[in-house]
Structure 1
Amino acid sequence: MEPAVPLGVVVLASGSGTLLQAVLEASEAGGFPARILAVGADRTGVEALARAERAGLPHFVARVGDHPDRAAWDAALTEAVAAYRPDVVISAGFMKLLGPAFLARFPARVVNTHPALLPAFPGMHAVRDAIEAGVKVTGSTVHFVDAGMDTGPVIAQEAVEVNAEDDESSLHERIKAVERRLLVEVIEKLARTGCTVDGRKVSFR
C-alpha cells in the first residue's frame, strides 16, 4: 500500500548527479512513494545543482571554505538540510564526511551508496582498489551513514562481476548502473515498509 504522505528526501551530491537523476526519474514516473524536497551540494557549478534547477527543485550550497572550520560547516549544513524537515537524507555521490552535528540531527536517517560490497573496499577509491586486489566480484552497497568511513549498517547490496578486460572506468560504469537502481529500490522500501538492520526494525512512518 502506498503511503498517504510520500517520504520526504533531501539529496546531497558533489558532482554530476546521476544518482539524483535516477531518483528524479523514479519520482516523475508516478507511484513512487517518496519525493525530493531539495538538493544540496558542497560546491557551486556542479551538474547535480543544474539537474535540480531544471526539475524546479529547491537547492543550496554549503561550501567548507565558507566556514572557519569543519565543525562550523557541519553545523551550517545541518541547518540547511533541517530547514526542509526530511524523513531521510540521501548522500548520493556527496564527497564529504558528514560530521557529528549532522548525524545527531538525523540519526539512522542518512543513507549512502558505495561502489563496493562493504565491508570490502571502503573509502574514495573502491573501484580502483577492487581491480588492484584482483577480485572477481565486487558490487554496490546502500547503507546507513555512521561516524566511520563507509562503516554504517548495510541496507542492501548487489554483486557485479569483474571482467578480465575491465579497467577502473568500465567497471565503475557497470557498478553505477546497479547503484542507481538499487538506491531507488531502497528508497521505495524505506518509504513503504522500513527495513531491518542488525535485527532492529527501522521505520520512517
Structure 2
Amino acid sequence: MMPENPHTPKTPARVAVLASGSGSNFQALLDAAENKQLDADIGLLIVNEPEAYAIERARNAGIEHAVINHRDYPDRAAFDRAVADRLCQYQPDWIVLAGFMRILTDAFVEQFHGRMINIHPSLLPRYPGLDTHQRALENGDHEHGVTVHFVTPTVDAGPIIAQASLPIHENDTPESLKQRVHILEHRIYPHSLQRLIKGQTDFNHAMRNKPVFFTEAELLDRNLD
C-alpha cells in the first residue's frame, strides 16, 4: 500500500526547469501554477539553446532564465558542471526536464538523485530515445502514449511516476501522433509534479510500485487533483 507521505512535503516547492526548444511543457507547468493546480514556485529556467522560445515564455512570466550554451564548453562534463553550479545557486526542490535535448552525465544525475524528472513521448520501456512516434507506427502498434519518470544515468530508464495512453488511429502520422501526445503531456506533467510535491510518491516508492496510469479519455475528461 502506498504511504500517505513518502517524504515530508514542502509547499510551494522551488522548481527549476531545463529546456532546449519551444517550452510547451514549461508553459503547461507555469499555467498550472498560476491556476493554483500546482504548489510550485517555478523560479528558474535553464536553456542550452540561445534561440529557444522557452526564453520568451520565461520573460513573459517574469521568471529568471539562464542561457548555458553547450557549444561553449569542451565536453559534456564541463557543460553539466556549469548547469549544476547554476542549479545549486537556486537550490531547487525539484528539477524538471521539459524538452531538454542533452544526455546528462552520470555525475550530474547522481548529484540530483531523486529530485529530477523527465517526460518522454512513449509508453516506456517501449521506444526510449528519439523518433518514438515513427517507430510506433512502423511497428504497427495499436496504442502509444507518454511517460513521466525519474532521471537516472541510463537514458529513459528511471522509475516511472505516471503514464497515459492513446489509441493509434488508422490515419495517424508521426506529426498527428506528436500533437495528440503533446496534449497528454501538458496534462500529465503538472499532475505528476504535484504528486511529488505533495509527498504522494518519491523515487523509492516509484521503484517499488506500479505507476499511475491514465487512458486518453481519463486524462482529458477528469479534473485531476
Instruction: Name the TM-score, length of structure 2 as normaliser.
Output: 0.85
Counterpart of 1:60 in structure 2 is 66
> Is the CA contact (8 Å cut-off) linking 2:81 and 2:108 kept in structure 1?
yes
1:128 Cα shift? 1.3
Matched residue type, 1:197: A
Counterpart of 2:179 in structure 1 is 173
Matched residue type, 1:97: I
Counterpart of 1:47 in structure 2 is 53
| Equivalent position to 1:121, from 124, 127, 130 | 127
Counterpart of 2:207 in structure 1 is 198
Counterpart of 1:81 in structure 2 is 87
Matched residue type, 2:167: E
Determine the C-alpha separation between the residues in 2 that align with 1:170 and 1:59: 31
> Is the CA contact (8 Å cut-off) linking 2:144 and 2:168 kept in structure 1?
yes
Structure 1 gap ranges (5+): 201-205
1:194 Cα shift? 3.5
Structure 2 gap ranges (5+): 1-8, 210-225
> Is the CA contact (8 Å cut-off) linking 1:121 and 1:129 kept in structure 2?
yes
1:5 Cα shift? 3.0
Determine the C-alpha separation between the residues in 2 that align with 1:135 and 1:31: 34
> Is the CA contact (8 Å cut-off) linking 2:142 and 2:168 kept in structure 1?
yes
Matched residue type, 1:199: R
> Is the CA contact (8 Å cut-off) linking 1:13 and 1:40 kept in structure 2?
yes
> Is the CA contact (8 Å cut-off) linking 2:76 and 2:104 kept in structure 1?
no
Matched residue type, 1:76: A
Determine the C-alpha separation between the residues in 1 that align with 2:10 and 2:173: 45
Counterpart of 1:37 in structure 2 is 43
Counterpart of 1:188 in structure 2 is 194
> Is the CA contact (8 Å cut-off) linking 1:136 and 1:162 kept in structure 2?
yes
Counterpart of 1:159 in structure 2 is 165
- 2:28 is the alignment partner of 1:19: no
> Is the CA contact (8 Å cut-off) linking 2:94 and 2:115 kept in structure 1?
yes
> Is the CA contact (8 Å cut-off) linking 1:116 and 1:139 kept in structure 2?
yes
Q: Deviations over 1:6-43 (max 9, x none)?
A: 11110111111100000000111125311202001111
Q: How does 1:72-111 map to 2 (within 5 A)?
A: 72-111=78-117
Instruction: Name the TM-score, length of structure 1 as normaliser.
Output: 0.93
Matched residue type, 1:48: A
Q: Deviations over 1:104-146 (max 9, x none)?
A: 2211111000010000011011111111111000100000011
| Alpha carbons of structure 1 residues 188 and 123: separation in structure 2 relative to 1, 3 Å | same
SS in 1 for 2:127: coil
Q: Aligned residue pairs: how many? A: 198
1:4 Cα shift? 6.2
Matched residue type, 2:51: G
